[in-house]
Chains A and B, each alone.
Chain A
Amino acid sequence: MTVTATTMTPRTRPELRQSTVAQTVALSKRSILSLWRQPSLVVPSLIFPLFFAALGTSSFSRATTAVPGFPAVDSYLDFALAGSVVQGILFGSTVGATALAVDIENGFFDRLLSSPSTRSGIIVGRMAGGMVYGCFQTVFFIVVLLPFGLSIKGGVAGVLTMAAGGTILALAVGALMSAMAIKTGSSEAVQGAFPLLFIAMFFSSAFFPKETMSGLYKTLAYINPISYLVEGFRDLTIDGFSASAVVRAVVIPAILAMVAVVLALWALTSRLGAR
C-alpha cells in the first residue's frame, strides 16, 4: 500500500485577500438574491413611503404656504421626498437584519461560522445586500415621484449624492439591526426593535420642519441626528447642491455607519467568545 503525502502549500497574502473578497462577494450576492426572491418582504418598504408621500402631499400642501416657518417649496412633495427615502431605508434595512436573525435561528449562520469563510465577510456580505437595496430605493422613489411634480434643485449631482447617502444610511441601519440580530439571535427581537427606529424618525423633522414644532417635540427634533440627515437630503431637493447639504446627507450616515459596524463586529466577537 502506497501512501501519497501531498504537501500543503501555505496560501500567499494576495490569495487570501482574493479569497476574502470572493467570499464576501458570494455572500453579498446571496443576500441580494434573497431580497430579490422574496418580494413580499421588500415591497412594503417601497409602497408605504410612496403612499405616505402621496397622502402628505394632498393633506399638507396648503400648510406649505399657510404655516409660518415652513421653508419655501414648490410643493409638499419636494419637502416629503427626504422623509420618504429615510422611511423606506429604515423599513428595508430591517428586512436584511431579520434575514440574518433567521439564519441564526435555523442554524445556517453556525454552518457559515464552521466553514473556512471570513468572519467579516459574513457580516459585510449580509449588509451589502441592504446597501444595494438602499441605493435602489433612493433612486426608485425619485424616479416614481418625478412624473408627479417632484423637482430636484440639486440636479444630477444632487440625485447621485442622495443615492450615496441612501446607500451609506442603509449600511448604518443594517449594521445596527444586525448587531441586535447577532446579539439576540432572534428575528422577533429585530422586528420588535423596528418601532424604536420609527419613533426616532417621527420625533425628527422627517415629515414637518422642526422650526414649526413647539416644546419638547421641538427639543427632541433638534437633538435627533435623523433631523439633520433628512435635512441634508431635503436641501439637495429644495435648495440645490451645496457643500453643507452633501456633508449632512453623506457624512452623518457615514458616522452612524461606522459606529453601527463596530457594534455589529463587537456583537459577533462576543457571540463567538461565548461559545
Chain B
Amino acid sequence: MTALNDTTTSTARSVASTRTFPASVGLMRRSLVNITRLPSAFLPSVLMPIFQAIAFSGTFFAITQIPGFPTDRSINWFLPLGVVMGAGFAGIGIGFSTIRDLEGGFYDRLRLTPTPRMSLVTGPLLAALARAALVTTIVFIVGTLFGARLTHGPLGLIPLYAAALGIAAIGTGWGLGLAFIFRDMRAAAIMQLTFFLVIFLTEAQTPLFIMQGWLENVARFNPFNSVIRLSRLGYVDPPISWDNTWSGLLTIAVFTLLMLLFARRGLTRLSDV
C-alpha cells in the first residue's frame, strides 16, 4: 500500500512538474489575450512611460546644461526612467488583475483545478515579462523618434531590457504577494505607492552629484538606484563596463528571488484560508 502511495505520489509529482510549464504558458496567454480584450487596463502602462519620458525631457530639458551632466540629451536621461516605470507597472499590473480574479471568484476556480501551484506564480511572471518587453520596445521606438540616441550603439539595449525585465519580475512578485495577502483593491494602492517611492527615491530625476540634502543620502543607499543606473548605461556618456553593471544585476537577482518567494508564500497562505 505504501509502495502504491509512493508510486502515486511520485507520478503525481512528475505530472505536476511536466505540467508547470504548459500551465504557466496557458496563464501567460490568458494575460496577454486580456491586453486586446481589456485594453483600458493595459494602455496606461504603455502611455504613462511614453508621457513621462517626453514630458520630463521637455520640462527638465535645461538640467543637461549643468556641468558634468552625463548626457547632453534630456530624452536620453528620462527615456530609461520611463521604461523602468512602465515595466514595473506591467509587473504590478499583474497584481491588479490577480485581485480582480480573486474578487470575481475566478482564482478559486483556478485553485480547484489540478494546475500546479507554482504555475500560479510563474504564469503571471511570464506574462509580466512579455508585457514589459512590449512596453520597453514601444517606449524605445517612440523615444527614438523623439530624439533619444544609444550612445554606445545597439549594445546599450541589453542593459535597458535587463533592467526592464528585472523590474517587471520584482513588480510581479510584489504585486502577487500583496494581492494574496489583502485579496482586495487595498493592495493596489500599496503596490503603486511603494513602487513609486522606491523608484523616485533614486537618481530618477538628477544624478547623485547634483542632488542636495536628504534625497542624496536616501538615493545613495537605495538598492534600486543601481537598477536605474543599469537602465541608463546605453544612453549616457560613460562607457558600459562590468563595474557599473554588476550591482544592478545583483539587485535584480536578489529582489526577484525575494519577491517571488514572497508571492509563493502568499499563495500558500491563501490556500490555508
Contacts and interface: CB of A to CB of B under 8 A. Distances in A.
A90 B63 CA distance: 26
Given A59-B210, A62-B210, 8 more contacts: A56-B205, A61-B212, A63-B63, A66-B66, A195-B51, A208-B61, A217-B59, A220-B58
A59 B62 CA distance: 13
Interface of A: 54-63, 66-70, 195, 199, 202-203, 207-208, 212-217, 220
A208 B59 contact: yes
27 contacts: A54-B215, A55-B200, A55-B205, A57-B213, A58-B211, A58-B212, A58-B214, A59-B215, A60-B60, A60-B205, A62-B210, A62-B211, A63-B62, A63-B206, A66-B66, A66-B67, A70-B62, A195-B51, A202-B55, A207-B59, A207-B60, A208-B60, A208-B61, A213-B61, A216-B58, A217-B61, A220-B58
Given A55-B200, A199-B55, A208 B206 contact: no
A68 B62 CA distance: 8
- Per DSSP, chain B at the interface is helix
Given A59-B206, A199-B51, A213-B58, A67 B66 contact: yes
B238 to A, nearest CB: 20
Nearest to B44: A195
Interface of B: 51, 55, 58-63, 65-67, 200, 205-206, 210-216
Contacts of A58: 211-216
**A-B complex: 6 closest residue pairs judged by Cβ atoms:** A217-B58, A58-B215, A212-B62, A202-B55, A59-B205, A67-B62
Contact of A66 (B60, B65, B213): B65
Nearest to A61: B212
Contact of B59 (A54, A67, A69, A213): A213
Contacts of A215: 58
B230 to A, nearest CB: 20
A117 B75 CA distance: 54
Given A55-B200, A60-B206, A63-B210, A203 B58 contact: yes
Contacts of B215: 54-55, 58-59
B44 to A, nearest CB: 8
B211 A63 contact: no
Given A199-B51, A202-B55, A203-B55, A59 B211 contact: yes
Nearest to B58: A217
Nearest to A69: B62
Nearest to B40: A192
